[in-house]
Amino acid sequence: MQKVAIIGAGITGLTAAFELRGKNIDVTVFEASNRTGGVIRTVNADGFLVECGPNSILDTHPDLGRLIARLGIEGNKLPANLAAKNRFIVRGGNPVALPTSPPAFFSSNAFSTSAKLRLFREPFITSKSNEQENLADFVIRRLGQEFLDYAINPFVSGVYAGDPAKLSVAHAFPKLYALEQKYGSLIKGAIKGAKERKQRAETAAKDARMFTFDNGLEVLPKRLTEKLGDIVRLNSSVTEIKKAANRKWQVNGAEFTDIILAIPAHKLSDLETPFDLKLMDEIEYPPVASFSLGFGVNQFMHRLNGFGMLIPKIENRFSLGALFPSSIFTGRAPGGMALLTVFVGGSQSPERALMNEEEMLENILADLRDLLGLDGGPDFKLCSVYQKAIPQYVVGYEKYLNRMNEIEAAFPGIHFAGHYRDGISVANSILSGINVAKQIEGG
């Protein structure tokens, strides 16, 4: 009989557990901390509903909706306001609205005329990426330097807190890489790919609706935990995985047929195991601070009418960017107040995420004064620092993926899942949990 141990009760581990329990498979989830959800954490304080980690989920795959329906929390799902379609990018010290359609692109002042004209050349560029190309080189080759500086660099800061010169286009942006490989052009691929996605009932990330829940993202892991009941063991760190008789594995004194490793890659090498996981410690997880601040809406010259503001590195500011959560979702701030979440640090300026809170705040407020016309200080603040935030899928990342594949092949019953393997987003982590459960059911 199959008996599965899941190590880590983040969204990956919880989803895998829920799927396996749905098939009546015996599961135990071991979680080191005193709560589930991993980096998903919502705090309700002084009338503000604050996300310390991720802020939203992109509805890119039908399996996400199916999971939410089975959990009975469809009614709690909260889609982003339409205003969240507006995104601002800082250019020349001012937030400029990013175009939301092809005609708007040509009239937008987010890009120069030469950058716009450069786009017409893209379908005729015949060179193709190899697996070792970094994102910066890929974008310069296909779209030009200005696109790198004002579109991709800030976008990569917003998603990976990463550096385009280090990230692998094939691993960090596999869909972009595949468009070029399959269609020879991003523009041609975007048009043809849209038709194919429609047939598969999938949504492109750029068109996917963003959502959270009425009481924040933590509704999802909390509901999963409730459904799983006492199979989730809190304060139960796993330090060792041992081989047992009959092709079984031993974890925390009990025997299992399968083990799912759903903990961050930098924690894998702390485990004592019959297989070597030291390599996984090399995966870079730069520090990121997420600083949430509450102000009166009238303290800003800017209307904060959008998803947020990304700040390209070339603009030489302190912050990576700011989300406007109270504009994206209802119920995030008391009446007349605005909630902003500013991100600091990442691969391109890691030391900033680790500076003391006062100094960090001073620098953030200087950015908000200059860029959004802020007057005065915050009424509310909550700073969350992630010493090791998001894994960087850099050029050469295949060596880590290969290592996981080798271990799984040589040690049947061992499975790797989550943000360090199948994509960094919450949606990717959920799909990773669903897929690993399917492999075990099928095995």
Residue ranges in 269-298 that form contacts with ligand FAD under rule CB under 6 A: 288, 290
Instruction: Return the number of the residue (30 or 329) whose C-beta is nearest ligand FAD.
Output: 30
Residue 82 burial (CB < 10 Å; 0-12/13-18/19+)? Answer: exposed
Among 5, 6, 8, 273, which residue sits at the site for ligand FAD (rule: CB under 6 A)? 8
Residue ranges in 235-254 that form contacts with ligand FAD under rule CB under 6 A: 237-238
What would the two tokens of residue 88 be? 């601002």
Give the distance, in angstroms, between the CA of residue 346 and the centroid of all CA atoms in the same chain: 13
Instruction: Return the number of the residue (32 or 165) whose C-beta is nearest ligand FAD.
Output: 32
Instruction: Return the number of the residue (112 or 235) whose C-beta is nearest ligand FAD.
Output: 235
Window contacting ligand FAD (CB under 6 A); options: 37-45, 163-171, 194-202, 310-318: 37-45
The span from the CA of 102 to the CA of 87, in Å, is 15
Instruction: Return the number of the residue (31 or 367) whose C-beta is nearest ligand FAD.
Output: 31
| 40 scored as a contact of ligand FAD (CB under 6 A) | yes
Window contacting ligand FAD (CB under 6 A); options: 28-36, 80-88, 128-136, 170-178: 28-36
**Taking Cα atoms as reference points, which of 281, 276, 232 lies closest to residue 410?**
276
Q: Residue 289: phi, psi to the nearest 5?
A: -105, 140
Contact characters 136-175, ligand FAD, x per CB under 6 A: ----------------------------------------
Q: How far is the CB of 420 from ligand FAD (least distance, A)?
A: 7
User: Which residues partner with 258 through β-bridges?
Assistant: 4
CA angle 284, 290, 293 (to 5 degrees): 170
Residue ranges in 53-112 that form contacts with ligand FAD under rule CB under 6 A: 53-57
Among 7, 17, 27, 414, which residue sits at the site for ligand FAD (rule: CB under 6 A)? 7
CA distance to 157, 266, 270, per residue, from 241 (Å): 36, 16, 11
Type of residue at 363: N
CA distance to 26, 35, 194, 280, 391, per residue, from 436 (Å): 15, 23, 28, 19, 20
**Helix count (H) and strand count (E) of the chain?**
17, 20
Q: Residue 429: phi, psi to the nearest 5?
A: -70, -40
Instruction: Return the number of the residue (57 or 404) whose C-beta is nearest ligand FAD.
Output: 57
**Taking Cα atoms as reference points, which of 385, 346, 398, 321 lies closest to residue 150?**
321
Instruction: Return the number of the residue (34 or 130) whose C-beta is nearest ligand FAD.
Output: 34
Q: How far is the CB of 208 from ligand FAD (least distance, A)?
A: 11
DSSP class of residue 280 equals G
Window contacting ligand FAD (CB under 6 A); options: 63-71, 193-201, 260-268, 404-412: 260-268
Instruction: Return the number of the residue (270 or 441) whose C-beta is nearest ligand FAD.
Output: 270
Instruction: Return the number of the residue (290 or 327) whose C-beta is nearest ligand FAD.
Output: 290
**Taking Cα atoms as reference points, which of 406, 407, 414, 403 lies closest to residue 248?**
414
CA angle 264, 269, 273 (to 5 degrees): 115
Instruction: Return the number of the residue (169 or 389) whose C-beta is nearest ligand FAD.
Output: 389
Classify 395 as helix, strand or coil: coil
Q: How far is the CB of 390 from ligand FAD (least distance, A)?
A: 5
| 10 scored as a contact of ligand FAD (CB under 6 A) | yes
Q: What is the DSSP string of 51-119?
A: ESS---EE--SHHHHHHHHHTT-GGGEEEPPGGGG-EEEEETTEEEEPPSSHHHHHH-SSS-HHHHHHG
Q: How many residues bind ligand FAD (CB under 6 A)?
A: 37
Among 211, 249, 291, 386, which residue sits at the site for ligand FAD (rule: CB under 6 A)? 386
Among 390, 395, 414, 431, which residue sits at the site for ligand FAD (rule: CB under 6 A)? 390
| 425 scored as a contact of ligand FAD (CB under 6 A) | yes
| 11 scored as a contact of ligand FAD (CB under 6 A) | yes
Among 241, 371, 424, 436, which residue sits at the site for ligand FAD (rule: CB under 6 A)? 424
End-to-end alpha carbon distance in the chain: 12
Applying CB under 6 A, the residues found at the interface with ligand FAD are: 7-13, 30-33, 38-40, 53-57, 237-238, 262-264, 267, 288, 290, 386, 389-390, 418-419, 424-427, 429
